[in-house]
């Protein structure tokens, strides 16, 4: 790995701008290794040190993104074509993301090259005018060579210590993490889930506000979503909060509470863990669905709870949330 840092950087200690651990640069060694893995991939080892998987880097993701631009990322797809034409239509989102990532890589390659006074040259490459034999695995760049994202990724990975020495190194870390996540969403999109009901006020009916109430679907990590009916844009966090407020006063069964928690954007862990916590850590507010309904404090003469035999347990949202959060934080 290449390095470029001042004597002051070598001596002065500071906190890692990503994880806050002690370091002499702006990213610690662990975070620097994570950046290197994001760029060119990393080997995944088990507890015995054996390689059990290979986590692909952004070069692999960029190759899949290039395929997505022509509708060919999915197995068996021959691409999208305009009716009556043999020209493949591009995926506008994939093309825009590819350009944005290329621009980010270009900015960082330029920054590191200028700060280290090291000219950018793709690894194992020589200029077109170079005369002489080349070592095995090396290449002579063509006269019309244009810098590719893959070449910049490999160069930055080779100079990752110089990246770590930049004051805004954490921004590059975040940019590469976001880039990989956005590429994955395009090349392998997850099925949309119900996020909430549109709260936009569209009028009044009998003195009561009438709301759009159209279901809004999206991904759980979306920041904003647009209602397809009224076209209003809502923050996902606001939709989750509105859902939580709506169910906060209701008494729900275990199964209903499981679905309600997801609609409110709450991490529940696995289904089995959720139901186990409910059964062992949360006191039902009441019992319903049987012959009798009432509070859990109603007891028969021998001290046993009559409601346990007469209906299913019903829970309050806040009671469940208080027990759930420490186990899923």
Q: Mind giving me the DSSP string for 55-76?
A: E--HHHHHHHHHHHHTT--STT
- pLDDT, tens only, 151-180: 999 999 999 999 999 999 999 999 999 998
- pLDDT, tens only, 277-314: 888 888 888 887 544 444 444 444 444 444 444 578 88
What mean pLDDT do residues 21-36 have? 91
Question: Which of the four pLDDT bands, split at 50, 70 and 90, describes residue 211?
Answer: confident
Q: Which of 168, 162, 145, 183 is nearest to 59 (CA)?
A: 183
Does residue 134 or residue 86 have the better pLDDT? 134
User: Considering only 16-30, 44-58, 217-231, 237-251, which range has the smallest mean pLDDT?
Assistant: 44-58
Residue spans of beta strands (DSSP E) within the chain:
14-15, 22-23, 42-45, 51-55, 125-126, 139-140, 193-197, 201-205, 208-211, 215-218, 224-226, 233-235, 251-252, 286-288, 294-295, 312-316
Give the pLDDT confidence score for residue 305 in this predicted structure. 46
Question: Which of the four pLDDT bands, split at 50, 70 and 90, describes residue 254?
Answer: confident
Cβ atoms 197, 216 nearer than 8 A = yes
Cβ atoms 126, 145 nearer than 8 A = no
What mean pLDDT do residues 124-135 have? 80
pTM of the complete model: 0.54
Does residue 237 or residue 44 have the better pLDDT? 237
Greatest mean pLDDT range, 82-91, 132-141, 143-152: 143-152
* DSSP bridge pairs for 252: 315
């Amino acid at each position: 790995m290449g390095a470029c840092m001042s004597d002051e950087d070598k001596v002065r200690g500071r906190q890692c701008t990503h994880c806050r651990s002690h370091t002499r640069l702006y990213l610690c060694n662990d975070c620097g290794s994570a950046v290197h893995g994001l760029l060119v991939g990393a080997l995944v080892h088990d507890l015995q040190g054996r390689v059990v998987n290979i986590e692909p880097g952004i070069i692999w993701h960029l190759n899949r993104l290039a395929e997505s631009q022509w509708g060919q990322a999915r197995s068996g797809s021959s691409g999208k074509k305009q009716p009556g034409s043999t020209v493949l239509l591009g995926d506008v989102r994939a093309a825009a993301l590819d350009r944005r990532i290329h621009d980010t890589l270009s900015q960082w390659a330029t920054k590191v090259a200028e700060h280290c006074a090291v000219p950018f040259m793709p690894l194992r490459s020589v200029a077109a005018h170079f005369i002489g034999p080349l070592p095995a695995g090396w290449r002579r760049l063509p006269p019309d060579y244009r810098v590719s994202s893959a070449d910049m990724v490999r160069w930055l990975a080779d100079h990752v210590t110089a990246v770590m020495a930049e004051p805004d190194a954490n921004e590059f870390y975040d940019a590469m993490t976001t880039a990989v996540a956005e590429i994955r969403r395009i090349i392998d999109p997850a099925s949309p889930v119900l996020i909430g009901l549109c709260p936009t006020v569209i009028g009044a009916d009998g003195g009561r506000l009438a709301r759009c109430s159209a279901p809004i679907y999206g991904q759980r990590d979306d920041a904003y979503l647009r209602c397809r009916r009224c076209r209003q844009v809502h923050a996902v966090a606001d939709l989750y909060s509105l859902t939580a407020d709506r169910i906060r006063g209701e008494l729900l069964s275990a199964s209903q509470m499981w679905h309600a928690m997801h609609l409110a954007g709450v991490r529940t862990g696995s289904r089995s863990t959720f139901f186990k916590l409910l059964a062992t850590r949360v006191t039902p507010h009441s019992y319903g669905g049987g012959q009798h309904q009432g509070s859990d404090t109603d007891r028969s003469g021998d001290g046993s709870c009559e409601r346990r035999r007469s209906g299913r347990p019903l829970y309050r949202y806040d009671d469940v949330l208080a027990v759930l959060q420490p186990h899923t934080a």
